[in-house]
Structure 1
Amino acid sequence: PIPRTLYMSLSGIREMSLITTPPPSRRPIETHLSPYNPDVIRTAIRNELDRGGQIFYVVPRVEGIEEVAGQLREMIPGARVAIAHGQMDEGELEVTMLGFNNGEADILVCTTIVESGLDIPRVNTIVIEDAQRFGLSQLYQLRGRVGRAGIQAHAWLVYPAHRNLSDKARKRLRAIQEFTQLGSGYQLATRDMEIRGVGNLLGVEQSGQMMAIGFDLYMSMLQEAIQEIRGQEIPQVDETQIDLKVTAMIPANYIPDLEQKMSAYRRVSAALSNRELVEISADWSDRYGELPKPVVQLIEMIKLKQVAKPLGFSRIKPDGKQHIVLETPMEEPAWKLLQEHLPKHLVSRFVYSVNKVTVRGLGVLKPEQQLSNLIEWLEAIAAGLAKAEED
């Protein structure tokens, strides 16, 4: 994977599977790193031809590929040389590849068109010219085109003899030479990430930036940021249970008819908004007279449920005689988002701990005052959140 994708997996954003067991009889590919030397290339190709095999000769560009093929014909007289690249006519390319697969050519001079999808058992030597121009993942994929039949394969990575390589190019070539064991793709991808950086997880850059602060510190900072972002989500709760010591009910002398009373309970319990509660209060006042205190507190309790549930609170209950506890599965970063919208004089009274928020000192007030204060304060949080989302 590219550095950004790999780090997404390491950070838990994406899943990753590792296949560490090679196919039966598969051998590690001997990887040779060498400056360009016609004698070295001639020997490598001759050794493969002598054991009846074929060779991939990979160049980085289409430009000049004909000259490279001509040089190989002069270097190894009698060798059958074919050419394949992505700018060829589709039919011509297919004929060339089928012919090479059938053994009609000994050397295929090609671009990275052979990078994936090919499985030709007789090809057990690959020469990559100007290897410093290729990315680490490309070199790994190209090397994997040989050694697919249980025969010892060789990969020759050739770079210009009289040209200074960049530091990153040297690191890439050393890495591909170092990691030759079967199943080393993960280690190579990690090394590629160290060399190039991980890029922008939410942007378009697929590598870079990391080395400005160092690999370990970058990983640590990014992991902390991801955990914080994950914890900022307000959890969804199925229901909010209110266990305050308030008398919330419909007295028998207010709605004497049992069927009407049950219908009234169902209606108020199903209310989803404060507007519905206002309509219910007005309707009951018209039909049954002024609302008694237990009915007012019943409506207030439903109102508290309506505002507490979207904020992620699953239960509201006393904690001894001093405090009120708001139980919640939310994590601390999510609570900090809610806390930002509390009036400043109340911030110190709300104390977060795992799975709960304690409202200090609220328990000493009368239950009906506890109810009204919680509604007021939680409504302030909800309003602040809504405004922040609009902005």
Structure 2
Amino acid sequence: MKTFVEPLNELKEYNTIKELLKTGVQPIHITGAIDSQKGHFIYALSEKFPVKVIVTYSESKAKEIYDDYRIFDKEVYLYPAKDIIFYNADIHGNAIVRQRLQIIQKLIEKKPITIIMTIDGGIDRVLPVEMIASKVIKLKTASVINVDEMREQLVHIGYERVAQVEGPGQFAVRGGILDIYPLTDDCPYRIELWDDEIDTIRSFDVESQRSIEQIDSITIYPATEIVLDPARLSMGLKEIQKEKETYAAQLKKEKKFDEARRIQEVVEEFQEKLEMYSGSMGMESFILYFYQNTVSFFDYFRDQECLFFLDEPNRCMERGSAVELEFRESMMHRIQQGYILPRQIEAVYSLSEIQAKLNNRPLIIISTLDYNVKEFVVKAKENLSVKSIQSYQNNFEMLIKDLKHWKERGYRVVLLSNSRTRAKRLSEDIGEHDLPSFYSEDLERVVNKGEIMVSYGNLHHGFEYPLIKFVVISEGDIFGAERKKKKKKRVYEGTKVNSFTDLNIGDYVVHENHGVGIYRGIEKIEVDNVTKDYLKIEYAEEGILYVLATGLDVLQKYAGADAKKPKLNKLGSIEWKHTKAKVRGAVKDIANELVKLYAIRQSKKGYCFGEDTVWQTEFEEMFPYQETDDQLAAIEATKRDMESAKIMDRLICGDVGYGKTEVAIRAAFKAVMDHKQVAYLVPTT
């Protein structure tokens, strides 16, 4: 990265800060830093540190820093903060846990990494990294394993046993085959056994279940941050039971009988979830009952050669204070109502404790304005002279004027575009105005004084170091381009019901065993002296079915209350069974027809389209939205079929507004570029 770092060697403040870091002087406060220049300066200062942690004040700012930093370092990760108030609101999702454990994996393996996070990402209590490392499973060919013991071990470290592996955090056992999808990996693995010895290990594709490549070994990291073995689980449950009885007795003594009954029900429900999910979900607020030795994520770097950066400390402290206050107030309200146990209030660290942890680490504080940081004892302060780049708003003449001015004064200028095609064209356009410029993707090339380099890359904003005559200009500065926006997705009416909040009274639902009915709300029903929530479903001829609120997996939303009224099924009748049997028969007939059709097509050869042209690339780069992962997968699969000799027949399926048209338009453009005609049929005018 000499293109960006080399000019800073001429900056006095930069060299001073590097010397201070060598002598161990910290915290250091850097003022005058702005926008994308912060990421540039952070990278240059921390180039010799294998681990960097950038702490900021909001998720949007963390994402912005992440986007900017990727041009300097590809090994950069976002560490998401958990919602510590609604810690068990989504017990089925593991996306956040997966992101966090992927970072922990890098730390355990001592790999270089840059971590970007918000201040509240270090507030929750977690297990020491050494404890997570001790639960890692390593398997290699020719080693001997006990399948039953391995199954138990995988369950204890958070993996879910399923019939067929379909996503991260799952495993399946079928005879002498063990399929495992490590939570931190990008693909699952199939382990074939010869008796109790590992014969082969292969990665495979989830959709086709076909092998990809054979490997010698795999490393399986836990699928949960809170690992519970049977002994620790039993000990923790005893602690919870003991505190529940003590607290319930206290509430009864205060004549708070409803609250005493409620805390008993809450604890019983938690114990049920522990049994259902093997202690791997919704554990955050109960962690102190199972582990006394907990740490903050900031403690993970005690034995690492790591440098911390705190972006805009005042705003970080405001964010941390607000999160802590919200948590304390929420928990105090809930404990008064009998929803939590007393020790759950201590599930997070205080902001003062977090400040102390940061104070004990090599720390650089970065801010735009010069102000006193009262929370930290600053040992040194340096002010940078940096300017932002004015937006040219498509005024190319003004850009050329500034480039000529900078060239005459011996500036080094780097222009960035997030399109290689546009970057090359930009270099040519600048050259036509008697300004020698060149396009290069070699970011190790040192830009000389008076040179203008155009490269591929993306920054939100450009910046200028006037004292060393170095300028970086982003494409957004030149064209005023808006950041790509994510498309808003509509809620598909036929999805599984994950929470009773997904339903409104009057919505039509489908029960997998009883058919179509109407959701009539939630009722409390007492069974065996235990009161639980049940969903009330109304069927034809005034039939009523009650479904336990924890059994939502058997329900699917059919349509909203304002949709066209479907025919309701009758409880106890065989009508729904006949309907399912007819559908199964129809699907079987269609499958037979498709097998015959594809057998005929397989024997014939189709037209092979050429690879993407420069025009195709430029056309796709003009798409004003950020493509979704599903869109990119569909586009890639469609092009792959077009470029093969196989007769193409592909269905692109999705709800309104999901981006199907863009997939079709790109395929049509590719066909036209190969001098073929395209027929585009639509249902209405």
Shorter chain as denominator, the TM-score bin is: under 0.3
TM-score by length of 1: 0.23
Who wins on radius of gyration, i.e. which is larger? 1
Structure 1 or 2: larger helix share?
Answer: 1
TM-score by length of 2: 0.15
Which structure's relative contact order is higher, taking Cα pairs within 8 Å and 6+ residues apart? Answer: 1
Structure 1 or 2: larger strand share?
Answer: 2
